[in-house]
Amino acid sequence: MKRTLTSAAVALALTSVASVALAVPPHQPELVVGGNLWTITFYDDSSPNHAQWATQRICFFPAGVQGTHQRYAWVSVSYPDWNGRATQEGDQVFMHGDFQWPFGNRDGGHDGMEWQLVTASPGGEAGVTPKGEIGTGHWKEWVEDGRLGITIGFGNTLLRRVGRCPYQTFPEAFSRTAQQALRDAQALSLAEGDDGSDNPMGVPSSIYRKNADDADRELEQPTASALAAAPKQ
């Protein structure tokens, strides 16, 4: 009996050591080594067929280590003035960021992403190094309205490592010159009436504003079904 207990204790200790080791940076794979340029695609989770909207390109840059977390900054090279921070523990990645909304109002729009690195997707993706390196998870986006906020979307997301960022450093990627070029492109899209260009997810304003109006109307004037489902006093 004593031998059995000792063996069990050793096994438990080894398991605990392994778990701690896995939680200590550097985590592999990570978001920079092997290519720090990724695409991120939005899929509307409220749609029966998970409608696909925009795909953006973002660059990750290392920002040190905090405890068991590996930190990053990220900058979009496809959508103007869209950037934020990310942290990784094991294969889990969490991100937050801001963008201009309405256009010209700094940080009026917000994003949150929670996703997991997948290192062995079947067949991989053409041009991806290492082959098959992708991430899947969830992406939410909203904008300020002085009240509850206007939801752009709650959905799924797919990230793909596609190569190296065209900028060598974070200051360069974040620089005024790069952002100004993107702002010019965004301004042109808005001037041409490109609906969906006012948010990184690419959801047309006619859709997300209607969804917000419907939700607010339900809060202010509950439907009969909502009243019937409410607990009795």
Q: What is the CATH number of the domain that holds 94?
A: 2.40.128.30
134 Cβ neighbours under 8 A, 6+ residues apart: 117, 118, 121, 125, 128, 158, 159, 160, 161
Q: Is residue 145 part of a domain?
A: yes
Question: Among 36, 51, 27, 195, which Cα is nearest to 116's?
Answer: 27
How many Cβ atoms sit within 10 Å of the Cβ of residue 171?
A: 9
pLDDT of residue 154: 97
Contact 37, 57 (CB under 8 A): yes
Q: Which residues of the chain have pLDDT under 70?
A: 1-22, 119-132, 176-194, 223-233
Q: Is residue 16 part of a domain?
A: no
pTM of this structure: 0.79
Question: Among 57, 105, 52, which Cα is nearest to 83's?
Answer: 57
Question: Among 186, 215, 211, 226, which Cα is nearest to 44's?
Answer: 211
pLDDT of residue 3: 46
Q: Is residue 226 part of a domain?
A: no
Q: Is residue 3 part of a domain?
A: no
pLDDT of residue 89: 97
Q: Is residue 169 part of a domain?
A: yes
Does residue 49 sit in helix, strand or coil? coil
Residue 194 structural domain: 27-219
Q: Is residue 154 part of a domain?
A: yes
pLDDT of residue 180: 65
Q: Is residue 213 part of a domain?
A: yes
What is the domain count for the chain? 1
Q: Is residue 231 part of a domain?
A: no
